[in-house]
Amino acid sequence: MLIKIANQARNYAWGSRTLISDYFGVPATNEPMAEIWFGTHPGSPSFLSENPNETLAQHLAGRELPFLLKILAADQPLSIQAHPNSAQAKAGFEKENHLGLPISAPNRNYKDDRHKPEVIVALSDFEALCGFKPITQIDNLLEDMQTHTGVSEGLRSLAADWRDILKQPEGLQKLFSDISNRRGNFDGVAAELTTMADFDARFALAERLNLIYPGDPGVLVAMLMNHVYLEPGQALFLPAGNVHAYLSGLGVELMAASDNVLRGGLTTKHIDVAELEKVLDFTPGEIPLVQTKELTAGLFEYPCDTDDFLLYRAEPSGERLMADLNLPGEAIILCTAGEIAISTSLEERLVLRRSEAAYLSSDAKFFTISGSGTAFLATAKA
């Protein structure tokens, strides 16, 4: 089965009014266009292009795909967040069910019992926060806050206390907890951090975030995280427990089909620091850039350490044809540039232009991609 699918943009406040419309050449909605979902997730199920009254899930007799593909466009920061692993998701979901919390409750942490590993591939220049900086860098940051001549004695004292906390066993977790639980009593600290931007470029991020979320402890938490800039085509893989926040840019995002998000700051949505701490990995590490593999001319894989999905980027040209590609499972193909044609072993053929997507069933064992453009292919693992 090869069938074209579509969906409407979701208008979250952090979305962009221009990135999706300008890049894909689609009409703007006069509202922020944050995400477009391609899949069967009930939060925003795709529908058949030729029959908008029928969702893809209905067409598949109610069966859900194990992955969700998205276009994501951010003009403002998303929340500081992380996702649970499978065991944590199952336990949290059962606990909140037992407490009688409706799935739609604003203070609900777990919307389902699944984990949510994800990968983001930049289509434009893309800015993100991802994982914690090395301890030495965090300590240097706090030391500069402690010794800076332009800050108050109160901030000097706090920075000294935070440095002492950082030196303790599990110091990074304790530091994160101390800062994050100062919500409602952080205005002065955040305001002072912004004044340091005039003397130290590292504090420019604090100044920028405090303009959007004044007095939010996430203003400082963000400075404990790796600040990442992706060029088009580069990708980050975010496993369970990885603290992250997208700041700006346009990308293609693929994840397990879950809606479990635990937030810790930079948002007006529900924040549960204690629950977030339970799932966070506080091990400082390298930025998890995905090392792209070129499988053949014009076909690239984004290897991710998950059993939920595979992600490829195909770039056929008039001189190049992706012939007889084996499909390990059902797939969604999204055209992000130019025009491509998909042909299957079942003698089906479909043309996709930029912003258009198609569902491809696993009974089409082989398929080809031709034309001239760029497409992302998300598929379930065998």
CA 379 distance to own-chain centroid: 18
Please, are residues 274 and 112 in contact by the beta-carbon 8 Å criterion?
A: no
Helix-, strand-, coil-residue percentages of the chain, each rounded to 5: 25, 35, 40
Q: Any idea which residue has 């198609």 for tokens?
A: 358
Q: Tell me the CB-side half-sphere exposure of residue 275, using CA atoms within 13 A.
A: 24
CA distances from 347 to 77, 165, 173, 316, 367 (A): 45, 65, 56, 20, 9
Residue of 114, 263, 313, 354 marked catalytic:
263
Q: What does the alpha-carbon distance between residue 23 and residue 231 come to, in Å, rounded to a whole number?
A: 15
Q: Any idea which residue has 């007889």 for tokens?
A: 324
Q: Reply yes or no on whether 263 is catalytic.
A: yes
Q: What does the alpha-carbon distance between residue 8 and residue 35 come to, in Å, rounded to a whole number?
A: 9
CA distances from 18 to 15, 74, 209, 223 (A): 9, 10, 21, 28
Tokens (6 digits) for 271: 């924040």
Neighbours of 95 (CB within 10 A): 13
Tokens (6 digits) for 209: 């975030």
Tokens (6 digits) for 341: 């044609």
Residues noted as catalytic:
263
